[in-house]
Amino acid sequence: MNDTLTRQETKAITEISKFQKKRQNILESLCASASDQECKIIFRTSIHQENSYSYADILEGAKAVARHFLKMGIPSKSRVIIILPTCVEFQYCFYGAMLAGCIPVPVAPVSFGTQDAEYYNNRLSSVINNSDCHHIISFERDINTLTDRLGFKPVDINFTCLEHIEFTSSDGFDYCRPQLDDICFIQYTSGSTGSEPKGVPLTHRNVLANLEGMGAAQDMGPSDKIVSWMPLYHDMGLLGAMLLSVHYSLKKLILIAPIMIARPIIWLKYITDHQMTLTLGNNFSYRLCVKKISDKDTSTLNLESLRLAFNGSEPIDVGVIEEFNAKFGPVGFKKAAMMPCYGLAEATLGVTFSPVLEEPKILEVDSGQLSYGSTVKPILSKDALQNTVKLVALGSPLFCLQVKILDYQGKTLPDMVVGKIYISGDSVMNGYYVDGGYDRSRFEGDWFFTGDLGFLYDGNLYFTGREKELIIIRGENYSAIDIENVVNSTENIDFDYNSIACSINMDHGESLAILIETKETLQEKLQSLMDVVQLRLLECMGIKASRISIVPPKSIPLTLNGKIRRRECSNFFRADSCNTYDYLFAE
């Protein structure tokens, strides 16, 4: 197998040159879609609220926002932070900022930060300082929440209330026409590993390349229709749903407010009622469908129209795929519809996609072979080792990208050897945004280190963990994600709550600590839960935790995108702040 994976490199050059000749920016995609009155976007923002818009409506709203910015005299290339939920106004502001020559910077809405005001304020301040932003646009109520309830009052920031914009005739203004290598928008990483959120500046070339690559990988056509609950301030919702639909002038896009995922039947009912062909979610959302949708509600569904269900954004649990197939197969869901994929903000969105119309490839391996530098050997015998783990293939690269696996010395590793995942191509950013320039410290020439570990096998990428989330136990590296999957599969672990594995320093060195959220309070049941967790870890991975702590629901800190803030969880143990049931296990 070639040590660098590509999807038809000759085709890549041809396809990329095609779209570059056709379009210079994503505004041209919006204008093309606006000419088709049959294209509709439906927003489901609450149980009883649903609104439909044409792309022409979106364009007119965007022009109104642009006109407002131009009247304000906001200089060209200014960064504009957009703090909005999934709603039509988000699209007005996103495209409107570009029409005015500005650079949109999407940020999670205020409501996601009110439970942890200090964290939200610090993160927003970091984004403002890094992007050198002086303008924020949002609803008036959210600006009031930001300034009054959260006490966020930075200097040199101009707040624009959407309610103060005149949505009237937009004629008479000369709108900006960005070029391919102009910055399209800046998206910020979650900062889940403890670092400050990093600004990812994406050019129109980056975005167009990734949209074309994703469209080709999924055989997208004019009859496709997308439904998504992923928020628009998240790269998967913004690019994988909104921009992809606009770019290909899809006839129908349904965007469900993320809060609605608490009732996942609504998501699958839209697929049934509107005969949607494409949807996207993550491991959490598919697991939620399995756990929360009753057999009675399942019987009302018909998922035969669903051609592809993208599964990305977070590590994929093979067990969830199998459970989803078993539950929804009888109502038309096809096993081959599940499309595991790999992506990251620094690559715009998608990096590798599984083949269309093929069932996910599952690889069972020894769990002790997934550390950096290990050679992975598939387990083919039914008399397999006890400590095994199932990995799902994440497919091969989009035609605009390349993937390779390197060791710490920069040497390319052969197939089946775990190393650092590097990517290169037209949709990869030029570097992190710093003081108006680019930080390329994670690059080796044109190759960007994703921060992830994995290996290649039979033309597919396999993910084994984050480099910063490795836990060393008795000299061996273990992925925190693998440990958490084992803990979460333990009987009596609450599905609605989080658990986390992290490393703590003890007298005998680095050790494994487990933090579990539960509403259980009886000491006998808590002790039993700890014993079962230890037994599962020993059976599945051959390891034991030195410390397990039980905390109430919502104790584990999360980022605005719902990812665990791991460094703070380690501090949780160091500060001895676990406030319910805590036990140290003897070595």
The answer to whether position 76 is within a domain reads yes
Instruction: Give the tokens for residue 38.
Output: 């049959």
Handedness of CA 68, 74, 75, 80 (dihedral sign): negative
Q: Are residues 370 and 496 in the same domain?
A: no
Please check the confidence at residue 354 and state whether its pLDDT lies above 60. yes
The residues, any chain, with a CB within 8 Å of residue 141's CB and separated by 6 or more, are none
At 463, is the pLDDT very low, low, confident or very high (cuts 50, 70, 90)? Answer: very high
Q: Going by C-beta distance under 8 Å and a sequence separation of 6 or more, which residues neighbour residue 381?
A: none
Range of the domain at 414: 360-428+439-467
Residues 374 and 501 in one domain: no
Asked whether residue 80 falls in the same domain as residue 217, the answer is yes
Lowest mean pLDDT among 68-72, 402-406, 562-566: 562-566
Nearest residue to 511 via CA among 487, 479, 544, 482: 544
Does residue 160 sit in the same domain as residue 204? yes
Q: 562 and 453 in one domain?
A: no
CB 474 within 8 A of CB 546: no
In a domain, 343, yes or no: no
What pLDDT is attached to residue 266? 92
- Give the strands of the sheet with 509-517, arranged side by side: 499-506, 509-517, 547-551, 581-584
- For the segment 270-278, the average pLDDT, to the nearest whole number, is 95
CA distances from residue 79 to 30, 134, 287 in whole angstroms, order as listed: 21, 7, 37
Would residue 317 count as lying in a domain? Answer: no
What total of structural domains would you count in the chain? Answer: 3
Assess if residue 283 is contained within a domain. no
Same domain for 551 and 530: yes
| Inter-axis angle of helices 283-292 and 318-328, nearest 10 | 40
Residues 201, 229, single domain; the answer is yes
Mean pLDDT of 514-521: 80
**Consecutive H or E run containing 228:** strand 225-228
Rounded distance between C-alpha atoms, residue 213 and residue 512, angstroms: 41
Q: For residue 586, which amino acid is it?
A: A
For the chain, what percent of residues have pLDDT higher than 70?
84
Same domain, 186 and 231: yes
* pTM (2 d.p.): 0.84
CATH of the domain at 503: 3.30.300.30
Look at residue 3 and tell me whether its pLDDT is greater than 60. no
Whichever domain contains 247, its CATH number is 3.40.50.12780
Name the pLDDT band for 349 (thresholds 50, 70, 90).
very high
CATH number at residue 394: 2.30.38.10
CA distance 188 to 504: 29
Residue 351 lies in a domain: no
